[in-house]
Amino acid sequence: MTTRFFRAILAPAAMLSVAACAELDVANPNNPDIARALASPADVAKIAKSSVNTWFLASTYPEPYLMLQVTADAATANFGNFGMRFNNLEPRVAYNNNSAGGDAAATVRPWDDNFGALGAANDALRALASGIVIPGADGNAKTRAAGLFAQAGAMTNLALIFDRAFVVTEATDLAAAPSLVPYTVVRDSALKKWDELITLTQGKTWSWDGDVMPLSVPATAANINRIANTMAARTLMLSARTGTENAATNWARVLSYADKGITGTGLADINFGVIGDGVNVWYSELVGYGNLDNWTRVDQRLINRMAPNVPAKYAGTNVAPITTDLRLGTANLPCTGAGQPNACLTGVTTDFVYLATVIGDPARGIFMQSPYYHRRWRDVSYAVPDAAQSGRFIPYVIAAENDLMIAEALVRSNGDLGRAATLVNKTRVTRGGLAPVAANSAALLAAISYERDVELLNTNGLALFDARRLEQLQAGTFRQLPIPAKELETLALPIYTFGGP
Amino acid sequence: MVSAQSTMRTLRFAAGIVLLLSPIAAASAQSTVIRGTVTQLGSSAPIPATVAIQAMGLVAVASDQGRYTLQVPEGRARGQTVQLTARFIGYTPVTKTITLTAEPQTVNFELKSDPFRLTEVVTTGTADGQAANKLPFSVAVVNGDKLRDVPASSPIAALAGKVAGARIALGTGNPGATPAIRLRGSTSLGVGGSSPLIIVDGVITRFSLADIDAQDIESIEVLKGAAASAFYGSDAANGVLSIMTKRGKDLKDGQTRVSVRSEFGSSSVGNFVPLNEFHNFQLNADGSINQTPTGARPLDGIIADNVYPTSGDSRYRNQLKEWLGTGQFYSSNVQVGFRKGGTNLNSSFTTDHNAGVLPFRSGQFRQSARVNADQQISSKIDFGTSITYSLNQNDYDPTDSQGWFALLQAPPDISLTRPNGPTDPVEFNPVLPSWAANGRGNPLYGLKNSSLAVRRERLLGSANVRYKPTDWLRVEGSYGTDRSNTGNQAYNPKGFLNAGGLATDGSLGLNNGINVAENIQANVIASKIFFGDLKSTTRATYLLEKQSLDSVAASGSQFTVLGVPDLDAIDPLNNRVGSSNTSRNAQNYFISQAFDFKDKYVADFLVRRDASSLFGSATRWASFYRMSGSWRWNEDIKLPGIQEGRLRVSRGTAGLRPGFFDQYETYSVSQGLITKNQLGNPNLKPATQTENEYGLNVTFLDRFDAELVYADRKTEDAFLNIPLSLAQSGGFVTQVQNAATVGAQTWEFSLQSRLYDGKNVSYSAGVTGDRTRQQIDRLGRAPFRVNAGGQSQNVFFYKEGEALGIIYGKQWMRSLDQVTAQGLDVNLYTLNSDGYVVRKSEINTNAEKPIAVVTGGSDQTVIGDVNPDFSFGFTQNLRIKNLSVYALIDGVKGGDIYNFTKQWMYQDGRHGTQGQGSRPEGDRRPLAWYSGGLYDGLNANSHFVENGGYARLRELSVAYQFTPNLLRKIGISGLAQGFKLSVVGRNLLTWTDYTGFDPEATSGGDFNFRIDGFRYPNFRTFTAMVDVSF
């Protein structure tokens, strides 16, 4: 018996000696290996396509855009989320550039997300430059267009938001640490990339694959070209930090871009927006929260422009609007009680609605409250279940923005004022029911500013970009954001900020 | 290289061994007999000891009268010299050398009491077991008798207060949550990276310890750092907990023991967060709050000092006390032990339930069953196996905090049942009325209407064979496996209201995981005595580890039909899926050599080579070592009153392995999209801790056993998940690097005493204490803030040269001297009634705010340190005849907590500090002073740093033993062992200045992150327990 068991013991010992070497090179089957992906044409194409999604989400995230709309007195809220509360204080305080604190994400998010989009786009463009061939007709051109789109778009965002940034492209050697450059240089780099995209798509007949970006129009080279022109015009026009810089903007160049943009070409106008997929990968959180009645409201400064009887600052009394602008209306009051404001909004179709209720703690500042609500994009906001947003149009740059850019560029570059008036009236008269604007510069500039305030709220969060160049900001409001403290800590640079007395 | 086939063959062999487990009776034929008695030295009381000739595998157990009979099989007594040893728990074993002949002989033993169990053999981390009083490094042993009076929720919870140098805390009270444990100091800058390696009956466990029933524990051996744990190599820098479960080995031959224990009681919250009982809204003449037709509430001044109505629907309610109720708590355990001949086994079954304190959720239900069996197959071969199965079900995620945020901020003057008034059509309506300023929703709606089912099945199994071809050589093979199958279902039915009160079409999330860990080990152990006095033990071990984790998740929203929680009922456009599959392999070799000279001098050496697939491809192998020695100086230098004295020194290295994803240079892919996230690091090495440990053990006056230990450790190449500049990294967000060196110095002290041990009265007490200082000696990047994850703020700061665990933020000025020191005009400032410096121009206005100290141009400075001055535990056992009382008090002195819950509550005006109605009128501060000034936008500031010191009556048991005699007197017979009735309390009392729910707050299971952020608080339980044995 002992011998038998002795053998039995030897057997596992023998097994163990066979098992003496475990597999130590374990694969990671969960994520694509970088080297393998960059050698795979399909993967390179997907990296470029994905970077467009990263850019779009970064461009429509509540951080910083809800904060920027609030501090520009377009929207209002007193909740601490997204940096809305403390940058809505009056008098204005400096942006709290601290790597802790509730407002940190207001800069970290746009900084990191745009550099994330840039990083991925650069990888794809570098792979293309090194000779990878993407299968299918115009595979390389379509992929390059996607990479360029994200690259140019990310640089546009960085140029509009931050005082300084890094310019990193597919040609940048990351082994040598890049240096920070002022926003004007970032803007010019963005324009260069939009120009490359415009050249690449000029006269071409290919279309993007369906998984690049679910545009609300066919993703043809021609439409991409028009969107690129509009984006270039915005980049140039909105990057001005002051009235002086605004006056110095190359308006002829703005006009030249905008004229080839999503409107103004003589072709049918198009919107630049996406078809939502039910808050999966294509959605806009700016729209989602900006049109959510219990999160944000419309600043009465803007309402006052439409209904002068409403004070420009809320003082605790709800004032119903008296207005001729068809875009402002009143809910089926009262809107109080359970299940509201769904019931009181039934049948209401105006963009702006007087709800006669306010939200938030008045102790934080009554001026932060407002009984007015932006309803225009409610059906793609978090006021409806995520799934209900599926298949609906989500705005980013609507046709009116391009029309108003052309109009403003015409006025500021001594162009055709009659044409400018026609463009302004497209929304002013057709949607607003207001009297046509007179074809003189002063009237036009006022009407353009009005239309931009009313039409473009909660599309792409440009309110601060407009307000700073038109000198409409309250004293002490920052005109741009500092590099986030988290990044400055990483770079071992001193922390700084903007805004405040 | 191991092929799948060879692993299968190995597994099949292990299974074959199990089949051989037929009870083979111990060989019996004509035999020689050794007889005798075993009695206590001095008192001559009989001892039912085990008497054995270990080299021959012969064992006998003495009767209750202390008599034993050891049969030596025919032909095996050949005139050789053998060692006959008698041992019994609580006594020093005695070994006698006898000559085996065919003639019967009588050998009597007198055993000396060993109340501190110094001669008991410690097995963990040693070549082949070593008596506790000779160990050259620290191994804390917690025996089952210390765990018996108050059964713990898990093996880790069972250690609280009992082991010096071990910090244990329930960071959250979620039923089913595993407590956090840290042995000595931190070894990593990752969050939650301090968990030790946990071994159960030789199986390296990888999954939740919440499945191990603490009532099965025979003993726990704790290795606190590399000086001891080098034995476990690259996985053991955090120390090792080795848990041994009951095996029935202590039973007498032929004995079957059945014990049944039932406990039943309830849980409730002990300390509540103070809530604001005042407001600053205008009042109507009848004392109700004025509300305009549009639902607004005009303000009445800026100070919250108006009282709420005392009756009616809008009366004041303490919503915490209203909704945090008592929860059911029960546990039933049956143990059956058996021993006959060469067979012993112990099986157990436990069912328990911990409901917690939240409404509408039932908490955790757990069942576990265990069988341990050992079979001596021949005098040279024995076999052992252990199998545990458990099922753990919960309807509240043990890591979640659902409901707490909204409950802590719920307005006091609404009924959460009908928040919009008595006619509110929706019960627990998620939408609160518009005047409920900053309403955070209704915590009860989700708790009531959504459902969660968390389910985990666990199988722990092991089998081992030992073969002793000669009396000095042993060959062992073992296989162990830990398997965890998990499945969760989260379900919001169609019609579930979202936060805005809108009916959704519902959602369903399902995920399933299959997790398998296996280890195969082979040992060769040679132990021989040279030159009469030098015992040498050599062990060579090979260990193979394999682990795979597979999971699949699917979720969807928008049910097309009512009442079908099935993904097939979801609109196919709204389905989402994901999966993950990771595996880890390791193989390790080591050789350990121990010398024991004259029972006085012990030396121990170890070298180990580890390879792990988790190390970066550039460094697949790493080496570890240990050198240690001890000297029982009392054997050489006899001092009066000292029974035992030992000095010891040990130096060892042990490692930590990186996470699975850390080495791979990949993109991330999710929902079909490719993004850049974590940058892989192919150069990752194990983090390596080097620890030097010095210990002094003294047993004196026959009543006291003291230990003093100093351990100095340095963990080099510690892991740090470094935030990157995305511009410079090409878009990657973080990278795990061997970036840091973390140092820790620990003093540990413990004193056990048996002050009196009489027939009718006994009293014993124990004290443990430790002090740990830890710091970041090197940080491979600029200082930065870290976040513990979850509902918390990144108030912590990593900086080279600073302590690990500092809180960083604004220090508010508390004296006018600070104003002067900062060069400000002191005439413009004053102190307010809360003792803070404010501007005179702002005091008593909405703008009143504190002033931060600025140094070097920055208002950010160290405002707190989470590390306590020391931790302590104090146990007492008192027995008076049949009545026994056991109490454990533990706690920490000092150490700060960041009360983030309070800071957030300030925003909504809900915290008790903000209510001013009870203060003298002149002292009342504006609400905005709190909700704006001190709240400061959730920035870390000194106002929310609180002293986290506490002392806690963690365990209390008052028990009465009904003896058979006593039972007979009252007419009950048949219970040979009688029964015990006890009243048990856990966490009954806490003494602390901390104002949150509980000072044990930690985030992410990490003591470096003592931040309180809307977590399920610890609660107390109070139960009655009956123990019956047959």
Peptide bond into A334 cis (omega under 30): yes
Predicted confidence band at B103 (pLDDT cuts at 50, 70, 90)?
Answer: confident
Q: Is the Cβ pair B10, A19 closer than 8 Å?
A: yes
In A350-430, where does DSSP find H-type helix?
399-412, 417-428
Question: What end-to-end distance do the CA atoms of chain A give, in Å?
Answer: 94
Query: Does B422 contact chain A (CB < 8 Å)?
Result: no
- The beta-carbon neighbor of A22 closest among B546, B581, B932 is B546
Q: Is the Cβ pair B784, A338 closer than 8 Å?
A: no
Say if residue B350's pLDDT is above 90: yes
Asked which of A279-293, A339-353, B142-156, B221-235 is least confident by mean pLDDT, the reply is: B142-156
Angle between helices A221-238 and A399-412 (to 10 degrees): 50
Q: Is the Cβ pair A363, B725 closer than 8 Å?
A: no
pLDDT tens-digit profile of B453-476? Answer: 999 999 999 999 999 998 899 999
Quick one: average pLDDT of B670-693? 93
Q: What are phi and psi of B637, to 5 degrees?
A: -120, 95
Predicted confidence band at B313 (pLDDT cuts at 50, 70, 90)?
Answer: confident
Q: What is the pLDDT of residue B25?
A: 36
pLDDT tens-digit profile of B132-156? Answer: 889 999 999 998 888 888 888 888 8
- Give B858's contacts in chain A (Cβ within 8 Å): 495
> Could you give the CA distance from residue B586 to residue B614 in angstroms, rounded to a whole number?
8
Q: Is the Cβ pair A334, B674 closer than 8 Å?
A: no
Q: What is the pLDDT of residue B792?
A: 66
Predicted confidence band at B790 (pLDDT cuts at 50, 70, 90)?
Answer: low
Q: What distances in angstroms separate CA A303 from CA A354, A369, A459, B38, B389, one per listed residue?
A: 10, 13, 17, 98, 67
> Could you give the CA distance from residue A32 to residue A232 in angstroms, rounded to a whole number?
33
Closest residue of chain A to B937, computed from CA coordinates: A102
B75 burial (CB, 10 Å; 0-12 / 13-18 / 19+) is exposed
Whether the Cβ atoms of residue B678 and residue B668 lie closer than 8 Å to each other: yes
Say if residue A492's pLDDT is above 50: yes
Q: What is the pLDDT of residue B499?
A: 81
Q: What is the pLDDT of residue B144?
A: 84
Q: What are phi and psi of A398, to 5 degrees?
A: -85, 165
Q: What are phi and psi of B844, to 5 degrees?
A: 65, 20
Whether the Cβ atoms of residue B3 and residue B544 lie closer than 8 Å to each other: no
Whether the Cβ atoms of residue A88 and residue A69 lie closer than 8 Å to each other: no
Sign of CA dihedral A6, A12, A18, A21: negative
- Give B6's contacts in chain A (Cβ within 8 Å): 15, 18-19
Question: Mean pLDDT score of chain B, rounded to an integer?
Answer: 90
Q: What is the pLDDT of residue B973?
A: 75
pLDDT tens-digit profile of B484-515? Answer: 999 999 999 999 998 878 888 999 999 999 99
Q: What is the pLDDT of residue B210?
A: 82
Contacting residues for A499 by C-beta, under 8 A, at least 6 apart: A87, A92, A93, A94, A95, A476, A477, A478
Q: What is the pLDDT of residue A66?
A: 97
Q: Rg of the Cα trace of chain B?
A: 32
Q: Which of B722, B728, B896 is nearest to B807 (CA)?
A: B896
Asked which of A4-18, A291-305, B155-169 is least confident by mean pLDDT, the reply is: A4-18
Say if residue A49's pLDDT is above 80: yes
pLDDT tens-digit profile of B878-909? Answer: 999 999 999 999 999 999 999 999 999 998 89
- The beta-carbon neighbor of A278 closest among B573, B733, B939 is B573
Say if residue A257's pLDDT is above 80: yes
CB atoms within 10 A of CB A211: 16
Say if residue A108's pLDDT is above 50: yes
pLDDT tens-digit profile of B908-926? Answer: 899 999 999 999 999 999 9
> Could you give the CA distance from residue B263 to residue B1025 in angstroms, rounded to a whole number?
4
- Give A12's contacts in chain B (Cβ within 8 Å): 10, 13-14, 465, 477, 522
Say if residue B621's pLDDT is above 50: yes
Per-position DSSP letters for B859-896, written without gaps between them = --EEEEE---SEEEEEEEEEEETTEEEEEEEEEEE--E
Say if residue B9's pLDDT is above 60: no
pLDDT tens-digit profile of A307-345? Answer: 999 999 999 899 999 999 999 999 999 887 666 788 899
| Amino acid symbol at B887 | A
Predicted confidence band at B75 (pLDDT cuts at 50, 70, 90)?
Answer: confident
- H or E, element range at A46: helix A41-59
pLDDT tens-digit profile of B588-612? Answer: 999 999 999 998 999 999 999 999 9
- Give A383's contacts in chain B (Cβ within 8 Å): 500, 502
What tokens were used for B162?
Answer: 């009992």
- The beta-carbon neighbor of B611 closest among A24, A49, A117 is A24
Write out residues 256-295 of A within 8 Å (CB-CB) of B: 278, 280-281, 292-294
pLDDT tens-digit profile of B254-282? Answer: 889 999 999 999 999 999 999 999 999 99
Q: Which of B668, B686, B690 is nearest to B678 (CA)?
A: B668
CB < 8 Å & 24+ apart, contacts of A432-437: A432/A325, A432/A326, A432/A327, A433/A324, A433/A325, A433/A326, A434/A324, A434/A325
Question: Mean pLDDT score of chain A, rounded to an integer?
Answer: 93
What tokens were used for B931?
Answer: 């909700």
Q: What is the pLDDT of residue B439?
A: 64
Q: What is the pLDDT of residue B3?
A: 45
Q: What is the pLDDT of residue B172?
A: 85
- Beta bridge partners, B628, equal B604, B650
Q: Which of A259, A158, A130 is nearest to A487 (CA)?
A: A158
Q: What is the pLDDT of residue B5?
A: 47
Per-position DSSP letters for B108-128, written without gaps between them = -EEEEE-TT-TTSEE-TTSSS
> Could you give the CA distance from residue A404 to residue A255 in angstroms, rounded to a whole number?
11
Write out residues 214-233 of A within 8 Å (CB-CB) of B: none
Write out residues 55-114 of B within 8 Å (CB-CB) of A: none
- Give A5's contacts in chain B (Cβ within 8 Å): 377-378, 380-381, 467
Asked which of A41-55, B20-34, B780-794 is least confident by mean pLDDT, the reply is: B20-34
Q: What is the pLDDT of residue B28?
A: 39
B560 burial (CB, 10 Å; 0-12 / 13-18 / 19+) is middle
pLDDT tens-digit profile of B356-397? Answer: 999 999 999 999 999 999 998 988 899 999 999 999 999 999
% residues pLDDT > 70 (chain A): 95
What tokens were used for B858?
Answer: 């920055």
- Give B500's contacts in chain A (Cβ within 8 Å): 292-294, 342, 382-383
Whether the Cβ atoms of residue A466 and residue A452 lie closer than 8 Å to each other: yes
B939 burial (CB, 10 Å; 0-12 / 13-18 / 19+) is buried
Q: What is the pLDDT of residue B963?
A: 86
Q: What is the pLDDT of residue B67?
A: 92
Quick one: average pLDDT of A251-262? 98
Q: What is the pLDDT of residue B438?
A: 60
Q: Which residue has the higher pLDDT, B17 or A206?
A: A206
pLDDT tens-digit profile of B855-876? Answer: 988 899 999 999 999 999 999 9
- The beta-carbon neighbor of A338 closest among B297, B426, B573 is B426
Q: Which residue has the higher pLDDT, B655 or B9?
A: B655
Q: What is the pLDDT of residue B974?
A: 72
Say if residue B224's pLDDT is above 90: yes
Q: What is the pLDDT of residue B17?
A: 38
Q: What is the pLDDT of residue B8?
A: 42
Distance from the B939 Cα atom to the nearest Cα atom in chain A, whole angstroms = 4
A313 burial (CB, 10 Å; 0-12 / 13-18 / 19+) is middle
Contacting residues for A475 by C-beta, under 8 A, at least 6 apart: A91, A92
Q: What is the pLDDT of residue B985?
A: 95
Quick one: average pLDDT of A82-99? 91
Quick one: average pLDDT of A179-201? 98
What tokens were used for A464?
Answer: 């601060």
